[in-house]
Structure 1
Amino acid sequence: MEKKTVLYLPHELIIQILMRLPVKSLICFKCVCSCRGFILLYRPPNIHLWNPSTGFKTQIPVSPFDSKSIAHCHGFGYDQSRDDYLVVEFSHVSSHLEVFSFRDNTWKEIDGNTHFPYVVVPSQRKGFLFNGAIHWLAYRRDLKLNVIVTFDLMEKKMFEMPVPSDFNNGYLYSLWVFGEFLSLCAKDYDNDTIEIWVMKEYKVHSSWTKTLVLSIDAIPDHYFQPIYSTKYGDIIGRNHGTRLVKYNDKGQLLGQRSFCNSQSEVFMYTESLLSLLGDNEHD
């Protein structure tokens, strides 16, 4: 059996390489969201926006509604109806939801959200952008079930979508895109399997379809998180926060690459030369 070689590179060199990667490349940071070439970086209480391709960077003013909660959930996306970039922040502890508009350069508290019956999965507090909305995996306390909490960037409204009916509340799972569909990767330790579910029709609960079932022995790492699926059906994911791994649809390991010596997040990044409205200088 051929021995797989793990390549180690200096962290500074990794960053320089990542900044030069082509469209749909992977970029690694701690605490990051990405949209249209912009990366949102969060280190309490500061939020920064950065475009690696142009070098643009700016710091977002601290919200006047900031509750100082350590349980903040964040998301970043684009409202095409107003040509506006938005930062979304909410906390189930303080039960408030607020949005920062780059066009208006101000925070606004969203009315009608005085109570959140949700506890967001700690590892999923960075919102997942898909189809013009930001998504978080959460647990609904009053009904005692898992749901997907969603904020529509155009309508400025929050709603929820149920996970597949067959899901067990004890599953460990994560949101991503498989093919062109919103997808869930679930680890079922009762049956020793990893399941890939896709929502064939967005917002339609009955369209959840189980497309792939792998033995948990095939991907044994407790911390594996899928990131991207290739056109051949291979799955690229983060393993233990320090490696990128690639599996085929049979669960066979095709390759791996270390990208950092300490645990880090990995997200899809699309290169762009876009600038913010009215952006003429760097902070």
Structure 2
Amino acid sequence: MMRNSSSTGLVNMKQKTLNLPEELIIQILLRLPVKSIVRFKCVCKSWLSLISDPHFAESNFKLAANTPTYKLLFIAKSAPETRSIDLDHDAMSLNSSASTTVKLNFLQLPPSSYSSLGIVGSCRGFLLLNCNANIFLWNPSTGVHNQIPCSPIASNVHAYLYGFGYDPSQDDYLVVLASYERNTADLLKHLEFFSLRANVWKEIEDTHYMNAGFYWNGCDPRVGSLLNNAIHWVAFHHDTVVNHIIAFDLIERRVSEIPLPDDFEHESIDYELWEFRGLLSLWVHHEEDDTVNIWVMERYKVQSSWVITLVVSFSEIPTQYFSPICSRKNGDIVGTDGDKGLVKYNDKGQLLEHHSYDEYPYVSLAMYTESLLSLPVVGDRELAS
């Protein structure tokens, strides 16, 4: 009996697939999207072992560095659920194919607590979450998570600056926290960081900085901008009451000052640092003409290199507000409308899209990059659940 030629071809194809060199299979897997790789853990034990290997995850992250997948994560107000949007997709609708649902069940919080949950940092695929002084690290792509131990001095303090970053010299993640004591007349301040690898908090002495919006907005916490192995905030020196950018160097583990633009309006309270086109940037809100000025520091730490590269008008937005979050690979700028929606402009400052999410009220949102990375190991114990 003659075998059907198409069946023979299928068998041969399967045999060839199964006989691919292991190195070639690894190289193919390394170049796949994180979402696909996570699913492929179920293929066989050898793939599960390979994909779970920290070296594989690091290689995948480095290969994807030139073309990373950027996501925008929304945390809902009343449910242990988040929604994620692919920022490189053409549509920003939560009902589009670019949107996925991610569960936050590991927090085990009552529904009433989700209104207090905020994203206060993002680095290498991990998000730093804060809820009623409890701090968590979470990789939405893999589900890896861990709760950070409370600071020894945290019981009587109010946090006003948060930061989260990676020290490549020691393969270590640092959580940075600036706070002041609530019940002291002289406003004692603390700046400390937690090392995941050492599993310990350490305070930096002689802290003189306060949140630049302290006197106006009741010291709402600011989230640091991560760039050049440093975390950046706008803050004022408590002795001089002069605004500066302060930078916490993640490798040297020390603080330095970076000057703001000479023409920066210090009386403005609506501004924030962010990364724009790979450079340290500052956006400033101007209500009088419905615009946002985007400053860029073209040479890092050189004050004279500050320039206004873009002026964005938000007069067409019903909420009359716009705050940038991130810029896409094609130059588009994505931000919030200050209420319940997202806004997109092109690299010329022209409005492209505005989406309101009235049906999905959220309390916090942040950008992250997909990754397979896990957390450092302390002794024989991996910091992951």
Q: TM-score, normalised by structure 1?
A: 0.82
Alpha-carbon distance in 1 for matches of 2:131, 2:332: 33
SS in structure 1 at match of 2:158: coil
Greater fraction of residues in strand: 1
Q: Quick check: which one's helix share is greater?
A: 2
Separation (CA, whole Å) in 2 of partners of 1:59 and 1:10:
18
Which runs of no fewer than 5 residues in structure 1 stay unpaired? 1-8
- Is residue 214 of structure 2 the alignment partner of residue 119 of structure 1? no
Unpaired stretches in structure 2, ≥5 consecutive residues: 1-73, 90-97, 103-116, 181-186, 214-218
Q: Using a 3 Å threshold, how does the CA distance of structure 1 residues 167 and 218 change in structure 2: closer, same or farther?
A: farther
CA-based RMSD of the aligned residues comes to: 3.2
User: Which amino acid counterpart does residue 262 of structure 2 have in structure 1?
Assistant: S
Q: Secondary structure at the match of 2:304?
A: helix
Distance 2:353 2:88 in 1: 21
Matched, 1:95 2:183: no
Whether the 8 Å CA contact 1:149–1:159 is kept in 2: the answer is: yes
Residue 174, structure 1, aligned to residue 272, structure 2: yes
CA distance in structure 2 between the partners assigned to 1:99 and 1:13 by the alignment: 28
> More displaced, 191-200 or 169-178?
191-200
1:16-165 pair list within 5 angstroms: 17-18=84-85, 21=86, 30-92=118-180, 93-110=187-204, 112-113=205-206, 115-121=207-213, 122-123=219-220, 125-165=222-262
- Rounded Cα–Cα distance in structure 1 between residues aligned with 2:158 and 2:339: 22
Quote the offset at 1:158 in angstroms: 0.9
Among all aligned residue pairs of Structure 1 and Structure 2, give the percentage whose two residues are the same amino acid.
Answer: 46
Read off the aligned partner of 1:275 and give its amino acid letter: S
Q: Conserved in 2, the CA contact under 8 Å of 1:241 and 1:265?
A: no
1:31-80 CA distances to partner (integer Å, 9 max, x unpaired)?
33111111110112211111112211111111112252223321111011
Q: Distance in 1 between matches of 2:343 and 2:293?
A: 18
Name the count of aligned residue pairs: 271
For residues 252 and 98 of structure 1, do their structure 2 counterparts lie closer, same or farther at Cα, with a shift above 3 Å needed? same
Alpha-carbon offset, residue 246 of structure 1? 0.5
Say which is worse superposed, 80-89 or 233-242, in terms of deviation: 233-242
Letter in 1 for 2:148: I
**In structure 1, distance between residues paired with 2:254 and 2:350:** 42
Q: Contact conserved, 1:127 with 1:136, CA < 8 A, in 2? A: yes
Q: Is 2:208–2:238's contact at 8 Å kept on the other side of the alignment? A: no
The answer to whether the 8 A contact 2:314-2:320 is kept is no
1:272 maps onto 2:371 in alignment: yes
Distance in 1 separating the partners of 2:156 and 2:355: 37
TM-score (norm 2): 0.62
* Distance in 2, Cα, partners of 1:175 & 1:146: 13
Select the residue among 281, 285, 302 that pairs with 1:204.
302
Larger Rg: 2
Q: C-alpha deviations, 1:144-202, integer Å up to 9, x for none?
A: 43221211111111112121101111222111122111111112345654211100011
Cα 1:64/1:238, change in 2 over 3 Å: same
Q: Take 1:26 and 1:195, find their aligned partners in 2: how far apart are those partners?
A: 30
Distance (whole Å) between structure 2 residues aligned to residue 23 and residue 189 of structure 1: 30
Letter in 2 for 1:95: K
What does residue 37 of structure 2 align with?
A: none
Aligned to 1:228: 326
